[in-house]
């Protein structure tokens, strides 16, 4: 694999501060409710573990794995690799995503979970590329809006399944 040139765009400290703020906002809304926090694998697992540890109320954990690939018309196809193991009917679901780009992943996930009649669905994403939106989705809490041009990695996000362990978010400088 070629050596990537990467540049830090969001520091570890900034991430930790924002995660704490998001945790406080979620705690206000969900304290004493029946909550299931859902990590969308694999990219959100680090954000998910920091965010949920900042929540000072009881909640259950679950995981779903989705993959998306470009189809021939250059729209994305999203597939379930691993489904939830808990029933979410009448529960308050908090979906935790790493990044929302075109919105195909979140659009499908929200439709799919809605069919199971949860009490509510709230979505949190660490990162958001607002100008890349191609389909509708609801995004209730955003860690950081970022530029739509670059490919980012670190803090759970990968390039070719690497770089997830960086404690900060970086942008690739020499992808093409
Ligand atoms: P969407 O369906 O276009 O919103 O894409 C969302 C998924 O694509 C994310 O959950 C990530 O897994 C992946 N993705 C999109 N942009 C990036 C990026 O800049 N870095 C790493 N993964 C990305
Ligand atoms: Mg994701």
Report the atom number in ligand 1 closest to the C-alpha of 78. Answer: 2
Token reading at 39: 């990590």
Q: Residue 176 has what pLDDT?
A: 67
Summarised one tens digit per residue, pLDDT across range 117-144 is: 999 999 999 999 999 999 999 999 999 9
Q: Residue 19 has what pLDDT?
A: 98
60 Cβ neighbours under 8 A, 6+ residues apart: 35, 36, 37, 86, 91
Q: Compute the 3-state secondary structure of the chain and give helix, strand, coil in percent, each to the nearest 5.
A: 25, 35, 40
101 is catalytic: yes
Q: Is residue 41 a contact partner of residue 49, using CB atoms and an 8 Å limit? A: no
pTM here is 0.95
Summarised one tens digit per residue, pLDDT across range 26-76 is: 999 998 899 999 999 999 999 999 999 999 999 999 999 998 876 666 677
Report the separation in Å between the CA atom of 3 and the middle of ligand 2, taken as the mean of its atom positions: 24
Mean pLDDT of 66-92: 87
On the question of pLDDT at 89 being above 90, the answer is yes
Res. 90 pLDDT band, cuts 50 70 90: very high
Q: Is 166 in the pocket of ligand 1 (CB under 6 A)?
A: no
Q: Is 171 in the pocket of ligand 1 (CB under 6 A)?
A: no
């Amino acid at each position: 694999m070629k050596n990537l040139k990467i540049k830090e765009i969001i520091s570890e400290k900034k991430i930790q501060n924002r995660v704490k703020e998001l945790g406080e906002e979620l705690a206000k809304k969900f304290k004493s409710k029946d909550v299931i926090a859902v990590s969308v694998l694999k990219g959100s697992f680090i954000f998910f573990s920091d965010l949920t540890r900042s929540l000072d109320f009881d909640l259950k954990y679950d995981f779903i794995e989705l993959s998306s690939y470009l189809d021939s018309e250059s729209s994305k196809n999203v597939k379930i690799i691993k489904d939830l193991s808990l029933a979410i009917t009448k529960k308050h679901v908090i979906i935790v995503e790493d990044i929302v780009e075109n919105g195909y992943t979140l659009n499908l996930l929200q439709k799919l979970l809605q069919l199971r009649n949860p009490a509510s669905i709230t979505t949190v994403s660490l990162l958001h590329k607002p100008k890349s939106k191609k389909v509708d989705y609801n995004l209730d809490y955003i860690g950081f809006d970022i530029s739509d041009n670059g490919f980012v990695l670190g803090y759970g996000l990968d390039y070719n399944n690497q770089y997830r362990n960086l404690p900060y978010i970086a942008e690739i400088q020499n992808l093409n």
